[in-house]
Structure 1
Amino acid sequence: MEITTARARIERGTFDGTSTWVLNHPDGARLVVAETGATVLSWQAPRADGELVELLDGYASAAELAEQDGYRNAVLVPWSNRLRGGRYTVDGVEHAVATDENGEALHGLLTAARFARAQVSVRDSDLAVRLVTTVGPEDYPGYPFSLDVAVSYALGIGSEGEARLGVELTATNTGQAPAPVALGWHPYLRLPGHTTIDDLEIEVPARSRVLTDDAKLPLAGEAALAGVASPVRLALAGTSLDQAFTDLVPDDDGVVATVLRSPRTGESLTVEQDPFEARVVHLFTGDTLHRGPRASLAVEPCGFMADAFNRPDVAEALLLAPGAQRQLVSDIVYRRS
């Protein structure tokens, strides 16, 4: 299926043999989304001089997409980050999901799932594609719950002419029992004119950072939180991060804005998130990536901190009642020089 107007085009495509959806915005911006995992492969937007530049560090081949190194731009359902030993307990019943060769269960279950198209739309300055999949009680050993999952991506232009990529992730409990659900998204940001992140700065409006053990899992209870002065401002040169922040501080518009900025060019990428739906932002400098270490910065809006399935302090908030929905809404804003 293809939708074409005088101003915009949404069409099917392929990426190294993998089916994709391609959104072409009237201002020149372009988004490529794989059906596998509903994973964004590319987001390009024009600079002030019209040059089209890549703003996300996506997979470069189908083999990389299958390998999932770094979970580049992945949709994270039904948990984000780490799950200790792949084990958790709900209503007194212990469950165990599959783990990798390191004994870790990372970033949920759907990074390799096929998402089907539910809707495409062209409206005013926005283009959007909505992709859906389901989770059944027999689909993923260790997660005996039922979910409908939808993710929408929208290309648009802000009020000041900035390029925007909107993401809306929704999980609906279609089963008969409460289901643990913690949503997240894992975009890797890159700014034009920079081959590494070492010349960039990051600003996070947070009042706490999350303390972890040797397995990179948060400490128990309040011991996981260390107060910091907000906003946190870091120069990335020589800085290695795999760090979560919480107690997020919204701006005057009610959104939490984490800003990656180039002092040299003046350009920036801002990840906006709702502080009530997405309580955590996780930063990863990509030092261990197989390809392009430190070429981009992962700025991950997440509903809960890592290992949320095993945290009594969020157990009640984590469970999604039958028929209920949980959302994670985020925007990435590109401000050109």
Structure 2
Amino acid sequence: MARTPISGTQHTLRAGPYEAVIASIGASLRILRHEGRDLVVPFEADELRPGYRGTTLAPWPNRVVDGVYTFAGVEYELALTEPKRGHALHGLASWLDFQVTDAGSDHVTLAATVEPQAGYPWRVEVTTTFALGADGLTQTVRARNDSAEPAPWGTGPHPYLVAGESALDEWTFELPAEEVLLVTDDRLIPTELRPVDADDAARFDYRDARPIGAAEIDHAYSGLVRDAAGFATVRLTDAAGTGVQLVWDAACPWVQIHTADLPAGPSHPAHRAGLAVEPMTCAPDAFNAADYSYDAGLIVLEPAAESTASWRIAAL
């Protein structure tokens, strides 16, 4: 019997000039290519997935500060999966092995259950469909609360987009967001939601497309400007004329942007190798929504209730 790769069962999708490979561990987008060009930073099938690259984030995206939150009057404590900063990072689904419930040449649906556990005592069924078409790769995530009590919920993807062959510093970035969430320098704890044209936040303003340059970004944005159909779009382009865009629906009022700066710097091959663009149904630390003056967007799933969010990556 053939050994299953470290990243899990591989699901290859093809449609026109597009090819995608989904790995079952974490329902992770391992490869997305258009006419042979990478649109996301890939990884090997038999490679331990680097961090959260391409994974599906659930039942929360981003971080829970100190791994502690209060929900319905009860305090919970999560394992600290970001130990250097002391937070619980990116949920509980990233290392689950998602099972196939439906598949075809251009689509696959995977499902896994977040079981009740210390810090998150709810059972939530997570189902995600990856569908490849002429307009790119669309991922849809659906959650259903199979518990007897309401459950806190949030989700999002974690792709690192690639515009072309040049360095990230040379890529032009367009983000239609009017607000940025400022954070502490050391632990990225949210402090204040500010307009992107405010003096202390103007460096994060990409409403008009401009090169990323040497900017280091690991911040969430909100106040998204959407089209008539309710979609927000991030565009990333290379001087050679290639590019990639990520489009998401109104279920995600937040987006995290990260320039993939790593402590080892340029000596690490993943340092600034791609731009993480993570649409999110809620803000960082949304499980502590009551601590903030803005709407953090925490979803409360009632028993048997469902929640859906969707996003699409396409070549430019």
TM-score between both structures, scaled by the size of structure 2:
0.88
Q: Give runs of aligned pairs for residues 1-337 of structure 1, distance below 5 A.
A: 15=5, 18-25=8-15, 27-46=16-35, 52-60=36-44, 62-65=46-49, 68-69=50-51, 71-100=52-81, 101-102=83-84, 103-121=86-104, 127-137=106-116, 140-158=117-135, 164-194=136-166, 196-214=167-185, 215-219=187-191, 223-228=192-197, 231-262=207-238, 264-274=239-249, 276-288=250-262, 290-312=268-290, 314=295, 317-335=298-316
* 1:145-177 deviation digits (Å, cap 9, x = unpaired): 11110111111103xxxxx01010111111111
Q: Compared with structure 1, are the counterparts of its residues 17 and 332 closer, same or farther at alpha carbon in structure 2 (3 Å cutoff)?
A: closer
Structure-2 separation of matches of 1:177 and 1:320: 9
Q: Compared with structure 1, are the counterparts of its residues 172 and 130 closer, same or farther at alpha carbon in structure 2 (3 Å cutoff)?
A: same
Q: Compared with structure 1, are the counterparts of its residues 304 and 204 closer, same or farther at alpha carbon in structure 2 (3 Å cutoff)?
A: same
Name structure 2 gaps, 5 residues minimum.
198-204
For residue 32 of structure 1, report the CA deviation from its aligned partner: 1.0
Give secondary structure in 2 for the equivalent of 1:311: helix
For residue 316 of structure 1, report the CA deviation from its aligned partner: 8.1
Structure-2 separation of matches of 1:315 and 1:82: 13
* 1:266-309 deviation digits (Å, cap 9, x = unpaired): 222111011x3101111111111753211111111111110000
Structure-2 separation of matches of 1:315 and 1:206: 16
Structure-2 separation of matches of 1:53 and 1:309: 38
TM-score between both structures, scaled by the size of structure 1:
0.82
Give secondary structure in 2 for the equivalent of 1:198: helix
Give secondary structure in 2 for the equivalent of 1:224: strand
- Taking every aligned residue pair, what percent have the same amino acid on both sides? 29
Residues 13 and 20, structure 1, Cα contact 8 Å, conserved in 2: no
Residues 226 and 233, structure 2, Cα contact 8 Å, conserved in 1: yes
Structure-2 separation of matches of 1:287 and 1:23: 31
Residues 254 and 283, structure 2, Cα contact 8 Å, conserved in 1: yes
Aligned length: 298
Name structure 1 gaps, 5 residues minimum.
1-11, 47-51, 159-163
Q: Compared with structure 1, are the counterparts of its residues 13 and 244 closer, same or farther at alpha carbon in structure 2 (3 Å cutoff)?
A: farther
Structure-2 separation of matches of 1:113 and 1:169: 15
Moved >4 Å (runs of 4+): 12-17, 313-317
